[in-house]
Structure 1
Amino acid sequence: MRSPEPVPSVHVPAPIRAVIVDDHAIFRAGLRHEIGDRLDVVAEAADVGSAIEVVRAARPDVVLLDVHLPGGTGGGGAEVVLGCRDLLEDTRFLAISVSDQAEDVVSVIRAGARGYVTKTISPQELIDAVSAVHSGDAVFSPRLAGFVLDAFGTSAAGEVRDEELDRLSAREVEVMRLIARGYTYRELAGELYLSVKTVETHVSKVLRKLQLSSRHELTRWAQQRRLI
């Protein structure tokens, strides 16, 4: 009697690990219900600070990120991306928001997000967008893609970056935003729990890297990029 032939094993890819960041608990619950059987939702967060902590701890494949979030220094979703810039090679950010305003789209894409869709998207379309972003593609709702192309002057929306902003570390970006908003060195030191001397060092590095000579020029630079 012949022994049965072995059944070849079939490789089943692991589900995409996702983190949901939104300040509305009911939206997070609804989104988890809609996509939870097709993605592995490993964590949630409701504000800028907790989002950065959760993403850095969980190291998900994709972060579903609301654009308008409380906390932090007021940068919202863009601030979360900037706070995780060193993870962007392995963790992709997909903005999902009720807003379809050009400034919201541009700010979060400048920070390093790979896509932006509105909350009118269907569950299947969202799953497809997550898969595309996870694979390294850029994804935008049709109307929003035009904002990106106009803002960056390129047809390669997935490759847009602000080379000057890329020179700054995450901490230097925080300092830049607060200085541009009019904080004094002492106020900034209190906000970020740093010494005044350390703040002075960060500001000097920011000005040097951006080739600016004063905080007034820095404010104009940040305003032009809608970073404040």
Structure 2
Amino acid sequence: MAAGTIAVVDYGMGNLRSVAKALEHVAGGKPVLVTADPAAVAAAERVVVPGQGAMPDCMRELEARGLRQAVIDAAANKPFLGICIGQQMLFEHSEEGDVPGLGILRGQVRRFPADKMHTADGQKLKVPHMGWNEVWQTRPHPLWNGIADGARFYFVHSYYVAPDDAGCIAGTTDYGIPFTSACARDNIFAVQCHPEKSAQAGLALLANFIDWKP
């Protein structure tokens, strides 16, 4: 495998082509490999785990394709970026389908509470949360370099992560309630939004990930 390879984990869920194309755009010639091969994930310099759809389906497909341990190992020892469900699966348990996650980060994945889904002036908010929203940075991090606090990113989700450890929260967003929209610990950075769909702010985050040396 070429030096500096960025592996995008293909477990059959998510818009992998969009993620790969966005990474290629900012990679500066580093190879981007979409792969379902655990050995290729293990050999890559950096690993990106995207995901769309339902958490039970994502966890089932990750297991069925033999990628579960490869993702756990990557999250333990190399620059790792989780996107959308790729963030949620890092946690211990999801209310969506009542399924366990990978347990890499402590905490739960919760559904937006129906009784809280309204604006400050009482207008009803739809679930899923879909569209552009602000991400407020709770602490400095190399992946925020060059990205304004409160920059807008694109979201599509009905569930959000609720970490047990507030120290791993790197960004928050408001949608009826404040929720954690970015997490960081050691070599792991994970976001609920879709940076590949988030114009310049999203491309900046991906470029920062490619240059990141945890």
Structure 2 length-normalised TM: 0.36
Higher relative contact order (CA 8 A, sep 6+): 2
Q: Pick the structure with more helix per residue.
A: 1
